[in-house]
Copies of this chain bind each other. A is one copy, B any other.
Amino acid sequence: MRKAVVLRWGHRYRDKRLTSHVALTARALGASGLVLADARDDKVKATIEKVTAQWGGDFRVEMGRHWKQVVSDWRAEGGIIVHLTAYGENIQTSDVLQRLKDTRKDVLVIVGSRKVPSEFFSEEASDYNVAIGNQPHSECSSLAVFLDRLFEGRELLREFDRAKVRVIPQKRGKKISTT
């Protein structure tokens, strides 16, 4: 499976719950990590690390690097960059998803949290500007639909290594196994 990492831009302290949701979404839907660019928030990091310690996997949270550095490092390693924005090519009406899949490259997914700089739309920062519909939205849900379509649902089959807790899916009620 190709690798996806999420770059969360524009996090502020009051966003900590939303950013935690973005990170949990990234983890649950197959991304390998989250970069909190241009910001630090130890609470977010602690929340996600606690989830990973219990539920397994290798999801990584990295903080504080400037987004331009993250982008240029990603490019240097041969990856492509997707900017999720309501202004971009509609994932349903265009062939943008197929085009980016055809590259077979790892994907850095940029999600903003407030007005993003116009640079994000430029070739310097993004290879593809992708809209999960062209309506005002949530960065959590855009990310979720994007990852679900990128990985074609296979991300929901993943087993997480070293999990202390696993859900055993049920029609009714809750069942977990613990190790």
Q: Give residues in A with beta carbon < 8 Å to B.
A: 15, 17-18, 21-22, 24-25, 27-29, 51, 55, 86-94, 118, 121-123, 128-129, 131-138, 140-145, 148-149, 153-158, 160, 166-167, 169-176
Contacts and interface: CB of A to CB of B under 8 A. Distances in A.
Given A25-B141, A87-B169, 4 more contacts: A88-B169, A122-B172, A132-B144, A145-B145
Nearest to A153: B92
A31 to B, nearest CB: 12
Given A89-B171, A156-B132, A169-B89, A21 B122 contact: no
B55 A135 contact: yes
22 contacts: A17-B18, A18-B18, A21-B21, A24-B138, A25-B141, A28-B137, A51-B136, A87-B169, A87-B173, A88-B169, A88-B170, A90-B156, A91-B156, A93-B157, A118-B174, A121-B172, A122-B172, A135-B160, A135-B167, A140-B141, A141-B144, A145-B145
A93 B157 CA distance: 7
* Interface residues of chain A: helix, strand, loop or mixed (majority): mixed
Contacts of A18: 17-18, 21
Contact of A92 (B24, B157, B173): B157
Given A145-B144, A145-B148, A167 B92 contact: no
| Nearest 5 A/B pairs, CB to CB | A141-B144, A21-B138, A92-B156, A134-B167, A140-B140
